Amino acid sequence: MAEEKGLDLEPEKWIERYSDYLYSFAYARLRKEEVAEDLVQDTFFSALRARDTFLHNASEKTWLISILKRKIIDHYRKKSTQNELNIFDKPVQGADGTRDHFFEETTMSSGHWTDTASPKIWKKDFETSVDSDEFYAILKKCLTKLPEKTAAAFTLRNMEDLDTEEICKELQITPSNFWVMMHRAKLMLRECLEKNWFTE
């Protein structure tokens, strides 16, 4: 049964009702068990402190998710200010030299491949492959290979649907930084998925 809007909060039932769901939600975006667990706990504590601000225009679950989303964004923002290698310090390197040539420089923001570097033909059926649990397990592992700040930009764009201006504000980066991060995230994920899944 769908959860009704406008009901009173029941904090004593939050852990039983929502902890597993919130953990899965956080882990899918953070890919780190300890961090996901900590943010779920922080979400419950913050919700308790802010319970008087609950407007009853959404369900408990929706309200808790909105708090958790804010926690995830804050986590990524804090990470982005730490001493991580600046993405412009050196190009992403592969065995054959830089991989930046995979994308057309004039269309980096749209992610167009160059004529000579288009993706390989995948041996597996695409629709069947992406529906499998095994594929998502490999995708999650590939996401862990991304640098922290790059993963943050990619996750906020593709899983939280934040627009470029919001992401740049949260991560304290320029639009150029953002598009370079997205471009390199696509390179790394493409290479990882081709190696571990589609061209097996």
Tens digit of each residue's pLDDT (9 = 90 or more) over 37-50: 999 999 999 999 99
Length of the chain: 200
pLDDT beyond 60 at 190: yes
Q: Which of 40-44, 106-110, 129-133 has the lowest mean pLDDT?
A: 106-110
* Residue carrying structure tokens 């054959």: 96
Mean pLDDT of 26-38: 91
DSSP state of 94: E
Look up residue 20 and give its two tokens. 């597993």
* Helix/strand/coil for 84: coil
pLDDT at 112: 55
Residues linked to residue 103 through DSSP beta bridges, in sequence order:
113
Q: Which domains does the chain have, with CATH numbers?
A: 11-80 (1.10.1740), 93-198 (1.10.10.10)
User: In this structure, what is the dihedral angle of CA atoms 115, 116, 119, 122, given to the nearest 10 degrees?
Assistant: 110
Q: Which residues 6+ apart lie within 8 Å of 144 measured at CB?
A: 31, 151
CA–CA distance, 62 with 43 (Å, rounded to integer): 12
Please give the share of the chain, as a percent, with pLDDT higher than 90.
Answer: 34
pLDDT beyond 50 at 109: no
Top pLDDT among 34 and 56 is at 34
Phi-psi region of 162 (alpha: psi -120 to 50; beta: other; left: phi over 0): beta
Closest CA to 157 of 177, 174, 182: 182
